Structure 1
């Protein structure tokens, strides 16, 4: 068992959430999805979370026996957490909203979806806690989503000053020489996915890669990677498969770029790319620092 306040204090400090200020994504999307429903999210969620959109979102009992780890709050993830937890247990997630990203071989998604009010009520009634951390986890130099992917690929992270790297969401690495087909097979095994999303060229000599967990469907990031000699751009999402005008515009932008790129563009699903850090680095952090049991909750379908 561990004290909730001790866990929260450690996470807040380690992830340095206050230095990031308001989360640039969820400070927009949480009001956007809840306010049309007339749901008083500002009262339902913890005061600091309402300010930062990272950190302790729901506060339960003071003692934590189990920490559950997941990426998105899908209905099935929340149902499993509520069913298997005891009063005071904690759910640690990357996102406070579900994002239906779409399936490259199936249905397109509807984008951000709120947690159903009934699940919020059930978690409060059972005195459960929820902590989410988005951009501070993406950017962390030891516990980051990209770092977990690099470690699993046995990649050498590049810190070469000659790299023209303009943002902290793209991680440049060298790997043992491989080809596109073998790299795809390795990624499908690591992320336990039935298939990848692929565009671009199939190459026989891949040594330099770029890693972008989550949404990597940004043409400027891809161009930067290509200029830095990257042969394979590995991310959660190559394409935006959100079924609205924004998603279709983003999809067309990538298709135009992909028709001329020299790289292999490989998507392993948004949720699977970010789940890896939960099942490795974050799981280790909780088990080494606190006297708690950890429970992994993989998403029921990675391409959702």
Structure 2
């Protein structure tokens, strides 16, 4: 067992959320019981994950996508009321980290994507490691656009949507930012990347990729962001001797 406050302090110290200007509250979002022995992690604090947490007897739910986003409705009604009621009635803590868990140089989503896809990290285009979100690196040798897409699909267990730019050849420099970062494609091209990987795609992204001359892989918001929260949960388990369980609520987006 560890106290809730000790656990939150440890996560805050590791991820340093105060360095980020984010769209949501990073850290403890809903307070539950004081003692934590079981942590359930997941990508998003949806009702299905909360129901799993109740069934397992979790003391704390750890997620990448929590609540209280900028410009969301303030009223506690409908879906929001049901989710919060589940946490409060069952005295479960909700701990969420958004951008800090994307950018972290060891535990973050970008770091985990690089590790799983065997990219050699060479830099960060929009800041220092641990702060910047657009990472740069080298993929395994000998991969063209289609082969890179197949490789990423095998690594993530989901085939990405590939927009091929004119021309071909081996990709020697790749950029990536997990989640909904498709509009970083211009910055990725300016940084010298021949391919850019993110989670989502917008209508405009196809035209931008073709006209900028950069291959684009939309590998799935959920699929690219499943791993950092697992890494953080495993770190908590190893550091404090608590039980951790990751639950993957399937999401095709």
TM-score tier by shorter-chain length is 0.7 to 0.9
The 5-angstrom pairing of residues 114-153 of structure 1 reads: 116-153=80-117
Distance 1:78 1:294 in 2: 15
Displacement of 1:78 after TM fit?
A: 2.1
* CA 1:295–1:120: 2 relative to 1, 3 Å: same
Displacement of 1:190 after TM fit?
A: 2.3
Match of residue 84 from structure 1:
56
Match of residue 187 from structure 1:
152
> Does 2:230 match 1:265?
no
- The answer as to whether partners of 1:91 and 1:129 remain within 8 angstroms in 2 is yes
The 5-angstrom pairing of residues 67-78 of structure 1 reads: 67-78=39-50
Gapped regions of structure 1 (runs ≥ 5): 27-52, 100-111, 240-250
Match of residue 187 from structure 2:
224
Helix, strand or coil at the partner of 1:259 = helix
Displacement of 1:139 after TM fit?
A: 2.3
> Does 2:214 match 1:238?
no
Displacement of 1:115 after TM fit?
A: 5.0
Equivalent residue for 1:25, pick from 23, 26, 29: 23
Match of residue 211 from structure 1:
176
The 5-angstrom pairing of residues 278-289 of structure 1 reads: 278-279=229-230, 281-289=231-239
- The answer as to whether partners of 1:72 and 1:98 remain within 8 angstroms in 2 is no
Match of residue 63 from structure 2:
93
TM-score scaled by structure 1? 0.72
- The answer as to whether partners of 1:237 and 1:267 remain within 8 angstroms in 2 is yes
Match of residue 295 from structure 1:
245
CA RMSD, Structure 1 to Structure 2 (Å) = 2.5
Displacement of 1:98 after TM fit?
A: 10
Gapped regions of structure 2 (runs ≥ 5): none
Distance 1:191 1:119 in 2: 29
Task: Point out 4+ residue stretches in structure 1 off by more than 4 angstroms.
Answer: 112-115
Match of residue 61 from structure 1:
33
Displacement of 1:179 after TM fit?
A: 2.1
* CA 1:174–1:72: 2 relative to 1, 3 Å: same
CA deviations 1:61-106 (Å, max 9, x no partner) are 12212111111122222222222224xx11111111499xxxxxxx
